Amino acid sequence: MIDEIVKEAETDFPKKVYLSYDVNASVFYDSSFWSMFYPIKKNLTIGLGLINTSTKQELKAVLAHEFGHFSQRSMKVGSYVYNVNQIIFNLVNDDESYRNSISQWASWSGYFSIFAALALFITGKIQWVLTKMYSFVNIRHMALSREMEFHADEVAANIAGSLSLEESLLRMELANNSYQNVLNFYEARYSKNQASQNIYKEQFFVINFLAQQSELDTKYDLPNVKLSESGLFNKSKLTIENQWASHPSNEDRIARLRKLNIIKDSENEPAKNLFRDFEKTEEKLTLKLFSKVKYQKEKTNLDFETFASEFEKQHIKDSFDKIFNSYYDNKNPDFSVQENAAAKDLSFEQLFSKEKVEMVYTLIALENDKKTIEAIIRKEIILKTFDYDGKKYNIKEAGKLVPEISNSISEVKNQIHQNDSDIYTYFLRLAKEVDKKDEFENIYRKFSTYDSEYEDRFKPYTDIIAATAFLNTKTPFEQISRNIKNLKPHEERLKSEITPYIDNPQMIDDLEEQTIKDLKYYIEKDLIYFNNNQYLETNLQLLMTAINILPYFLHKKYFLLKKELLAMMKDLENRIDVSEITLAEKLVNTEGKENGSAANEITV
């Protein structure tokens, strides 16, 4: 395949071709001083995680994009920019010996000190010019890089077709997310000395599992991510060109590809079929990846079935039920609402419809847009113009947008508040119907109380962080002893805060066994941190473990309370569904007894 692409792109074969672990393909080359003058031999890297989640045609498109870079003479500019950056960095930052020499020279005489000050002033101005030059050079290089990406896309489209590259780009984020999910799974099992035998087989399972959870279509046995779905939760109207971005956005790339609309014959079987024994290659790279991990005991490889089962359980445990259509993924129930007696004809489908979910993400986007525009006004973000809702604005006009966005935020907040009021009313009525009103209100109130106290519960953490700040600075021995003494009351408060969590199996089920032992030891003992004019590092490490565990416990309890409330809401909805089905069956059976054969027709 590489030979074919090289021939069609009319470029050179890579110096070397590497297989890497991740979900990517890239070109790299030597950026030494001499590379500015002699031809650059480029290398190609292909990620196994990319091959594993692509068709042959998609992989051909991605590789053709990389060979589009091979054909670009402008890549040599990267060598010039790299070396210019090195020179600027050294001149601006590595001037300590020069300043020391100037200071020593100035100390000989007051007369010399005048010239020393003048020399430092002049070099300071030169450094300022160089810093501006750095921005000038690199912003233009990034603009060139973005154009080079568009050009490489055009090469890929001419070789493999526009659609294959578009579909690969849209799936790339999900493929990478799936790969990272598998890595995170095994990172959490480090203490159990568990490893993977084939991380790519597991990645393939996860990408399809996550696609199923998000109700994505499949095409050629792979998730088919549409452009509208890739930006489903991005409702921002603000468009700012990132001058420092090396790649254009996927939206811009896909718009150009669709404009080209080049159609080619496709080979849509899995890209992994290009290998003689892909599974053996997967296992070899997996073994190489996990060989870098230093396990405490001999590692054991999880079989695929165990991984799939445990991953699915963990995912369900760590996420909210999809019955709510992502409505609560980035918001909480509104604790200020009350039952709305006037609300009628409420339905679950309407309360959690796509339109109601979009309101939540529209509010998030509006609030983020407002913060960004306020940063532009304060000149924390430097730019000349930006687009908002399809209209171009300059910096002077930015202030006019803030009141408009604030009004939009208020309107959307009111709409969401009304929907939250209807949701509360709906589930309160369901709870009354099945005699669960008190239970529902108690769970709602318990979560509401914790939510109102949440910020205050962080105070012991912030206080002890402040009280231990001296550990990171050079402090006289006498002051260290006084600081350790002043630390004791904060420690007692910390111990009292984390003790109930450690005694709760639900709160510690994800913690490593050694961490739990360390926390219990810390609580039971009165540790000494400073003795014979030196810190006792082991005890300090136990202290830091205890300090850092408190935010984890606070976050986890919040999550569990929210999950408990949503679980009851789901249970109430399911109870009503079951009762409605049972009632319908009773009606059918009753009519059947009265009407004979007519009942069979109703049942069918």
Phi, psi (degrees; rounded to nearest 5) at 367: -65, -40
Phi, psi (degrees; rounded to nearest 5) at 217: -75, 160
Helix (H) or strand (E) run with residue 436 in it: none
Q: pTM for this structure?
A: 0.75
Comparing CA positions, the residue from 311, 52, 79 lying closest to residue 181 is 311
pLDDT digit string (tens) for 269-311? 999 999 999 999 999 999 999 998 888 888 899 999 999 999 9
Per-residue model confidence (pLDDT) at position 583: 46
Half-sphere exposure for 337 (CA within 13 Å, toward CB): 24
In the chain, % of residues over pLDDT 90: 51
598 falls in which pLDDT band (50, 70, 90)?
A: very low
Copy the structure tokens of residue 180.
């990272």
Q: CA-to-CA distance for 465 and 479, rounded, in angstroms?
A: 17
Task: Flag whether pLDDT at 340 surpasses 70.
Answer: yes
Q: Is 52 exposed, middle or buried (0-12, 13-18, 19+ CB in 10 A)?
A: buried
Task: Flag whether pLDDT at 360 surpasses 50.
Answer: yes
Per-residue model confidence (pLDDT) at position 388: 82
Per-residue model confidence (pLDDT) at position 376: 85
Interior CA angle at 587 toward 585 and 590, to 5°? 105
pLDDT digit string (tens) for 391-429? 888 888 888 889 999 999 999 999 999 999 999 999 999
Beta strands 43-47; 25-28: pairing state: antiparallel
The SS3 call for residue 275 is coil
Comparing CA positions, the residue from 550, 575, 441 lying closest to residue 497 is 550
| Residue owning tokens 């196994």 | 48
345 falls in which pLDDT band (50, 70, 90)?
A: confident
Per-residue model confidence (pLDDT) at position 12: 84
Q: CA-to-CA distance for 415 and 460, rounded, in angstroms?
A: 37
Helices (H), 458-536: 459-467, 477-502, 505-508, 513-524
pLDDT digit string (tens) for 33-88? 545 555 677 889 999 999 999 999 999 999 999 888 766 554 555 555 555 656 65
Q: CA-to-CA distance for 159 and 9, rounded, in angstroms?
A: 8
Half-sphere exposure for 453 (CA within 13 Å, toward CB): 11
Q: CA-to-CA distance for 69 and 40, rounded, in angstroms?
A: 12
pLDDT higher at 381 or 144: 381
